[in-house]
Structure 1
Amino acid sequence: MKIIACYSNKGGVGKTATSVNLAHALALAGKRTLLCDLDPQGASGFYYRVKPSKKLQHDAFFKDVDKFTKSIRGSDFELLDILPANMTYRDFDIFLSRMKNSRSRLKKALKAVKNEYDVVLLDCPPNISTLSESVFKSADHIVVPVIPTTLTERTYEQLLQFFDRHKLGKKKLIPFFSMVQRQKNLHTETMERMRKKYKKSFLKASVPFSTDVEKMGIHRAPVLDFARNRPAAKAYCAMWDELQQRI
Structure 2
Amino acid sequence: MTALLRGKTEMDAAIRSTSYPNLDVLPADETYRALDLVLDAAKKSTHRIAKVLESVSSEYDVFILDCPPGASLVAENALHAADLVVVPLVPSPLSVRSLNQVNDIVAASDRPPKVFAFLSMVDRRKLVHRTAAQTLSRDNPQVIDLVLPSTVIIERMGSERAPIGIYAPGTEAARVFTQLWKHVYPAPKVKRGSRHE
TM above 0.5, one fold?
A: yes
Q: 1:224 to 1:187 in 2, by over 3 A?
A: same
Instruction: Spell out the pairing of 1:80-229 with structure 2 (5 A cutoff).
Output: 80-164=23-107, 166=108, 172-199=114-141, 201-229=142-170
**TM-score with structure 2 setting the length:** 0.84
* C-alpha distance in 1 between matches for 2:147 and 2:187: 15
* C-alpha distance in 1 between matches for 2:49 and 2:104: 23
Alpha carbons 1:205, 1:242 under 8 Å: kept: no
**3-state SS in 2 of match to 1:177:** strand
Q: 1:202 to 1:170 in 2, by over 3 A?
A: farther
Alpha carbons 1:177, 1:191 under 8 Å: kept: yes
Alpha carbons 2:40, 2:73 under 8 Å: kept: yes
Alpha carbons 1:160, 1:170 under 8 Å: kept: no
Alignment partner, residue 171 of structure 2: 230
The amino acid that maps onto 1:238 is Q
Identical positions, percent: 31
Alpha carbons 1:103, 1:133 under 8 Å: kept: yes
Structure 1 residue 167, shift from structure 2 partner: 5.8
Q: 1:121 to 1:171 in 2, by over 3 A?
A: closer
Q: What does the per-residue CA deviation read over 1:102-128, in whole Å, with 9 as the maximum and x for residues that have no partner?
A: 112111101122111110111112231
Q: What does the per-residue CA deviation read over 1:108-154, in whole Å, with 9 as the maximum and x for residues that have no partner?
A: 10112211111011111223112211111110001000011123343
Alignment partner, residue 75 of structure 1: 18
Instruction: Spell out the pairing of 1:5-24 with structure 2 (5 A cutoff).
Output: none
Judge which range, 122-131 or 76-85, deviates more.
122-131
The amino acid that maps onto 2:49 is L
* C-alpha distance in 2 between matches for 1:114 and 1:193: 39
How many correspondences in the alignment? 188
* C-alpha distance in 2 between matches for 1:246 and 1:130: 31
Unaligned runs of 5+ in 1: 1-56
* C-alpha distance in 2 between matches for 1:183 and 1:209: 10
- Which aligned runs of 4 or more in structure 1 are off by greater than 6 angstroms? none
* RMSD over equivalenced CA pairs, Å: 2.3
**TM-score with structure 1 setting the length:** 0.69
